[in-house]
A and B are shown apart, each in its own frame.
Chain A
Amino acid sequence: EVVLTQSPATLSLSPGERATLSCRASQSVSSSLAWYQQKPGQPPRLLIYDASKRATGIPARFSGSGSGTDSTLTISSLEPEDFAVYYCQQRTSWPPTFGGGTKVEIK
């Protein structure tokens, strides 16, 4: 199965700063990569799909890029509600797999 490695494990930033999260796949996932945000006690929430398409209702400060084995989620200017854990997920190969997550915390 495809292993997704996310880095860094933790990102300590202040509101208004730019966040750059990385997801590396053990083999090519083409552009079939999604990003989810999860807050404590809540289910994951779809942010980005097919590497760069924002899901319904997702603010423009969230953007995704990349293809093949390397993908990036960028939050252009952190809002207080953006501090959470972010997961990448691939759906190119069976079974679908998730990364281990990046926690974006307040510095």
Chain B
Amino acid sequence: DIQMTQSPSSESASVGDRVTITCRASQDISTRLAWFRQKPGKAPELLIFDAFYSQSGVPSRFSGSGYGTDFALTINSLQPEDSATYYCQQAKTFPWTFGQGTKVEVK
């Protein structure tokens, strides 16, 4: 199975800050990576697919990058509603696997 490792596990930042979350795959997954945001008590929502394409309706402050084994999600100008847990997910090979999550707190 492909292991997905996110860092950091948690992050605390202020409104307007830039936050970057990284995700490393245990083997090459090309650009078959997605990012999700999950607010407490809610279902996850798709932010980024195929490593850098934004899902329709997602604010432009969210961007994705990377290829192969190393990926990043950047949130520019952090907003209060971005308090959530963020997950990466590989869609290269079954079983699909998620990172362990990064909890972002907006101070």
Partners in one complex: no
Which residues of A are in contact with B by a Cβ distance under 8 Å?
A: none
Which residues of B are in contact with A by a Cβ distance under 8 Å?
A: none
